[in-house]
Structure 1
Amino acid sequence: MLFRGTLVRLWAWYFLLLVFILACFNVIVYFSLSQALNARVTADLQAKVRDTVSQLIANPNGTLTAYGPAADPSLADTFVFVIQTNKNGDPTVVENSPQLNGLEQLPSQLPIQAAKQGTRTQSTVTISQDQFAVLTEPIKDKQGNVIGVIQAAKPVGTVAATLANLEGQLALATGVALLLGAIVALLMANKSLHPVRRAFVRQREFVADASHELRTPLTLIKTNAEAWLRRTPHSAAGFYARHILEEVDQLSSLVSDLTTLALADARQLRLRPEPVELSQALRELIAHTAPLVEERSLRLESRLEPVTIEADPTRLRQLLLILLDNALAHTPVGGEVGLATHRVGGRARIVVEDTGSGIEAGDLPHVFERFYRADKARTREHGGTGLGLAIAKGIVEAHRGSIEVRSEPGRGTQVTVSLPSLPATAAAAVPVSTPAPAAAEG
């Protein structure tokens, strides 16, 4: 499937956005209900305090007398203590709710002390393993003196139960929403990529068609230029014919590269896999490039372990030529190029490194892009079409492998290819082919 990685990333962003929205919704709903329930508890406590205080009589001697029970039936689960303080500061219970079964005072002394100083407080206490919200207020006479304290308590177990039930419902609803959302996000991401896929397919078809149509005229131009050069090899016409042939070869290489990329993009790169011994293939390439290495006074170091893979010999040679050609082209005179093959688990590793100028960190993510050239390390003075690494990546992926580039400016570049290898026993049991010659592309 085209753009599989882009589809996954786009789906992930849609899904993460859904998760964020649901999380915000759940938090808002939970805390809104929690605040509403707690506000209701506080309102009930305040109503109970008002009702109880309205039924108290402040005697001239500073004592309190209760003359009737609270009449509001909706506050039946709200308990109350009325405590008066004598001249010595000792508390005396004036009234308590019958639901408290003779409990002399609530286990909440700090609020009582604060209320004696004229401060109202609300807290949560535990009575017989049950949670209660407790509102503590001072009782004042007409002169504003504190003559007692009133405490109203209301169980909050129903609040906790309601919030726990809400948590369960929100968790269930969120799970269902995420499942449906994941499906919808996938459909949306897939639909969003439809125009991109269509444009990409059209571009690929155009490149393939243009490459095919260019082959014939380029062949005719090359044939005529060669004939012209044979007739007048030393004249001005022969000079121009040679230049024409050079440009035709460059264009033919570009057309071939574009055709390979179009096939790789369409997952239609035809492979004829068979066992290939990597060290032998690289030794042949080393011999092939020996004149260039000698001409530029380069050192070519090789550490080749016998590793056999199943690959298309022609495409493998094309891949190795691209990597070796790039390393040689970007290594200065007197520099060093290294080649290595080894087995890591069930994979064959091919490492090509050079001591060239290296690639800037900002350019590394783009080295496999078509026609991309880093400013310092990949300039047109080295020739090539700028498609070499893009083709190399296509060939590697067609063989179910991976390729990566590591580089530091001034310290050279290392390219590592990982391909599935054949087990040693299987490799020894089958005849091994050597890659057929192919032109380097880069």
Structure 2
Amino acid sequence: MGTPLNPVHDLPPQAKVMPTAEVCAAAARIVDDVVTRGRSLDAVAARHLSKLPLRRHSEARAIAWGTVRWLYRYRPLLHRYLRQPLRRRDGSLEALLLCALYQYHHLDEPDYAVTTGSVEAATRLGRARARGLINAVLRSHLRDSRAALTSDEETCYATPAWLIKRLRHAWPGHWQQVLESANQHPPMTLRVNVARTDRDSYLRRLAVADIPAQPSNLSPWGVLLERAMPVTKLPGFAEGEVSVQDAAAQVTPFFSGQLAGCRVLDACAAPGGKCSQLLELEPTITSLTALDRPGRVYTIRENLLRLGLNCNVTGGDALVPGNWWDGQAFDLIVLDAPCSGTGVMRRHPDIRVHRRHSDIANYANKQEQLLEALWPLLTPGGRLLYITCSVLPEENDGPLHNLVSRQADARPELVTTAEGLATDLGCQFLPGPYHDGLYYARIRKD
């Protein structure tokens, strides 16, 4: 699961706003689709927000993203006020109430406006008869002095207990940092295209445009914005001078090793952040193949076009190289493997809603299959760079230990940085204030 180049941010409203019934209903529909129907937050948000006036998008997005983020806190709180559980078909009402609870506690909106907007939104959701229930539940909450109390870790960290247990076991000294980070708004970081400009020059352009920013301490190409904003308002974005990419996702070149004169495969490449960065930094790469499923490669092409870059974009399944590989071995294979996404939960808060305990073993199995399928494509002396946006060892060191034990010619090359934590075989960046959680490890073929 790669970090998106142009992520949708849950922007907190900049000033006190009056939530309209239209906005409350749209946010509730998004939350209902995610929580009740198990759909992707990004996908359903794009569909429902398209029906709102553009000026209302950021407000509805903030409510929906925040409600999903804090679901494990406010759902138990909501149940306190219900005389009997809501029926499954009442998912839109539960979502509407959860959105209201989130707004009361996190957004700078008058309580009476949240209540009124939510009650009126029931009609827009086709549930006008529930207006009285909505009003009664919300007023009960406002009278409840215990509302802010959290009695257990699941509600405190708004995270399922099974995941808290796994994180505590994996990172006994850092698990709270990981969970607290997941409940913060994600930073918006840019990657400067050094083929077109440099970071200092771009920072000056931002200053002229009155956009507060600072250089990233993790990535020498990174620019951290003080506040997230639409990419259409970024100087030079359309011209390919910058891309949106988390700072921890920008350090691929530190771990990849030499690029000049290499044949490179970027497997699971969409939306193209890593392959485009390698092309920006090293124009003398002999060839680069960016591979992903046929339905995803359009995002790679779009970003390469904007950046003025070219490579061999291929639609195919990394597990079946025979369908797309030309038989010529690669000097470097970058595998940004599908994973649980536990390092990017603040950017994708629905991860905590959708993931299950059993998913981790399933992801690890898929990762092992990918490593085994791609290893024969590597030339002797070549390198495989394995990357995930997970913080769980079962998905990181685990699949690599199995690869090394099965392949006699696989030799780990431990590469670390001051900002990352060394593991048995790689380097783990835990999510922090200025970057997401990613794992990197390099294996050389003897």
Q: TM-score when scaled to structure 1?
A: 0.23
Structure with more of its chain in helix, by fraction: 1
More RCO (CA 8 Å, sep 6+): 2
Structure number having the greater strand percentage? 1
- Structure having the higher Rg: 1
TM-score, length-normalised on structure 2?
Answer: 0.23
